[in-house]
Structure 1
Amino acid sequence: MFELAWPWLFALLPLPWVLRALLPPAGNGEPVLQVPFLAELERSSSRRARLNLPAWRQQLPFALLWLLLLSAAARPQWLGAPLPIPASGRDLLVAVDVSGSMDYPDMQWQGDNVSRLTLVKHLLGDFLEARQGDRLGLILFGSQAYLQAPLTFDRHTVRTWLDDARIGVAGKNTAIGDAIGLGLKRLRERPAQSRVMILVTDGANNAGQVPPATAARLAAQEQVRVYTIGIGADPGSDGQLGLNPSLDLDEPALRDIAQATGGQYFRARNGDELQAIGATLDELEPVKQQPTRARPVRELYAWPLALALLLSTLLPLRQPLADWWQRNLQRALPHAPQWREQLRLRRRR
């Protein structure tokens, strides 16, 4: 079905003529030479016929150009048949800590020591890829929180944005409360029974404007379940005696956030535990939502825009082409009787 997205733009159709009537003629401020016999010169010129074209014929190409530009600006579209969109899952927003401490290489992945963020990319990325039917979003937070990917059914794109995350891109500190607050802004417009947020961090809140306890209370009011995951190895697990890699991890605060919102707190000390957490989260019951339908849209504005470009290119060539046509026509007219006679003789033969 054909339709115009912004048909009201055609109200601007008389704008050039209105401006021409209201604005004063342009002047260059220089003295003008008065020629009293200008009319006689025009009559004696070979271009007199063209100069005497009716006004509407002179303005026709420019009116057509203006109409084409308005048609392109009105966004003509072709709407396809309605197609169903799967909407039987959750609205799942994942907040990942990308502060400086997430670069600490105390985690094990396939026999190698990797950083915490690298492990999160591997295992949490697989978890996101398997969320068929869920709307997924991604928040990266450090000193500030940023929405990296809004809620979407495109799981692969969200996975790609997670893989592209870099340490320190949002600052070196940890703003847990701001990350939860940003998630609330994005989830409050979704059905209350389907709002889920997963927060992954290895530290304590030491930046941002919103305290984690306040953010948790607001999340509970908005019926957003927050599942928190604290990541970091146990003391001495990295081979350095006496060193506690998870010293900065504020487990009581993460546990309080999960408890206040009806979620659950998980502790990931290695790759196996993080993978098991993903399997546990996978068992969350999906909430059936109202099925949605969408119509594929094919934009057609390029066609009138291309015609307008072609016409604007040909307009400056109008006068040279007319002169060329007139010269060739004048050369051909004296020989026209001879051509007709030759054509008549050929037909007789």
Structure 2
Amino acid sequence: MITLAWPWLLLALPLPWLVRRLVKPASPQIGTTLRLPFYRELAAAEGGGVSRSRRWHLWLGWVAWLLLVLAACRPQWLGDPVELPMVGRDLVLAVDVSGSMEQEDYRLRGRTVTRLDVVKAVAGRFIESRAGDRLGLILFGTRAYVQTPLTHDRETVRTMLNEAVIGLAGRDTAIGDAIALAVKRLRKQPQDNRVLILLTDGTNTAGSIPPMAAAQLAAQAGVRVYTIGIGGGQVGVRSVFGMLLQRGSDLDPATLRAIAQTTGGRFFEATDAAQLEQVYAELDRLEPSVRDKRTFRPMTALFMWPAGAALFLSLGMAVSSLPRRVRATRAAGVVNDVH
């Protein structure tokens, strides 16, 4: 559709008429005049039609003025609305890929899988549900690495998570470094939308920053940390006789709970796949996606068309007035000859 950005400028349309009606014409110069008794015959001989020509120039002048006012109103063509990416939270997932994550003590779809496999399945569905959020992925073991920076591309984040392998970042667990790295990525983002979900199955055994010191940094930067402890149940150990189940786990729930409390988050523990599903469902409830739909209508300026038409009309009026000027010059020459 065509709209006018400044429609109030249409009020200038009657301005020339008002000036002509309200402003007094300039006083004619008083001087010596010469009467020509045959002036009408001279005008007729030169072609006549002076009043008709002035009438056409007057109408063309009004049309040119109308076009100039229309151009000043900034006409523009608005296209169909285009939806922009939805504005949501900045959410980073920090996933433990240390050596203990290869323990096969979870069951998924009726078969025994590693801890990392169940995390990939459950967290992958969580990633897909976060429409509108910017997601990032950190993998940590002995060191912490940014696998995916903050992005709206959920498919890429899920793909990078699915491609993670045990020991990619080392066999130990650097929880503090993972939190500090996430804070570094989130601290420049808008406040109240900075969220870190940290998932681990062990205690901090590596890294240069203690977990609680990193939690203090997160609290100062306004980053809410939700910690998820997995394992904690029966640990699977393979032997020549098959799978043996033994009690014991390296999980440190006290530290994970303290990290969450310090930053305003919550601590969850999931000893099986169903509990992990419930954890991510609860996270969806606690940190819902902010689905603020925004639209954009592409705009194309059209002011150059009426402005160009007014320019051509003005040029046409100037060219058409040349014969009249020539006639006036000839008439002046005749008067000079008579004088």
Query: Same fold by TM-score, threshold 0.5 exceeded?
Result: yes
Distance 2:171 2:235 in 1: 25
Residue 274 in 1 paired to residue 273 in 2? Answer: no
Distance 1:262 1:283 in 2: 15
Distance 1:234 1:181 in 2: 28
Q: Secondary structure at the match of 1:108?
A: strand
Distance 1:288 1:161 in 2: 24
Amino acid at match of 1:113: T
Distance 2:151 2:235 in 1: 41
Count, aligned residues: 215
Instruction: Please tell me the root mean square deviation across aligned C-alpha atoms, in Å.
Output: 2.6
Aligned residues of 2:225 and 2:264 also touching (Cα < 8 A): yes
Change (3 A) 1:289 1:126: closer
**Structure with higher strand content:** 2
Where does structure 2 lack aligned partners over 5 or more consecutive residues? Answer: 1-79, 238-242, 299-339
Distance 1:248 1:84 in 2: 48
**By how many angstroms is 1:244 displaced?**
2.2
Report matched runs for 1:323-334 at 5 Å: none
Distance 2:133 2:200 in 1: 23
Change (3 A) 1:224 1:292: farther
Where does structure 1 lack aligned partners over 5 or more consecutive residues? Answer: 1-80, 297-349
- TM-score when normalising by structure 2: 0.59
Amino acid at match of 1:146: Y
Report matched runs for 1:100-111 at 5 Å: 100-111=99-110
Aligned residues of 1:85 and 1:291 also touching (Cα < 8 A): yes
Change (3 A) 1:119 1:83: same
**By how many angstroms is 1:111 displaced?**
1.3
Partner of 1:255: 257
Q: Secondary structure at the match of 2:192?
A: helix
Change (3 A) 1:207 1:295: farther
Report matched runs for 1:143-182 at 5 Å: 143-182=142-181
Q: Alignment identity in percent?
A: 54
Distance 2:123 2:224 in 1: 18
**By how many angstroms is 1:88 displaced?**
2.8
Partner of 2:247: 244
Report matched runs for 1:1-349 at 5 Å: 84-235=83-234, 240=244, 243-245=246-248, 247-286=249-288
Distance 1:197 1:227 in 2: 6
Aligned residues of 2:89 and 2:194 also touching (Cα < 8 A): yes
Distance 2:233 2:291 in 1: 41
Change (3 A) 1:132 1:171: same
Amino acid at match of 2:99: G
Distance 1:142 1:124 in 2: 18
Amino acid at match of 2:169: A
Q: Secondary structure at the match of 1:219?
A: helix
Change (3 A) 1:194 1:97: same
**By how many angstroms is 1:85 displaced?**
3.0
**By how many angstroms is 1:110 displaced?**
1.1
Aligned residues of 1:106 and 1:233 also touching (Cα < 8 A): no
**By how many angstroms is 1:289 displaced?**
9.2
Aligned residues of 1:97 and 1:202 also touching (Cα < 8 A): yes
Distance 1:295 1:148 in 2: 35
- TM-score when normalising by structure 1: 0.57
Change (3 A) 1:171 1:293: farther
Aligned residues of 1:88 and 1:286 also touching (Cα < 8 A): no
Distance 1:189 1:160 in 2: 26
Q: Considering only CA atoms, is the larger Rg found in Structure 1 or Structure 2? A: 2
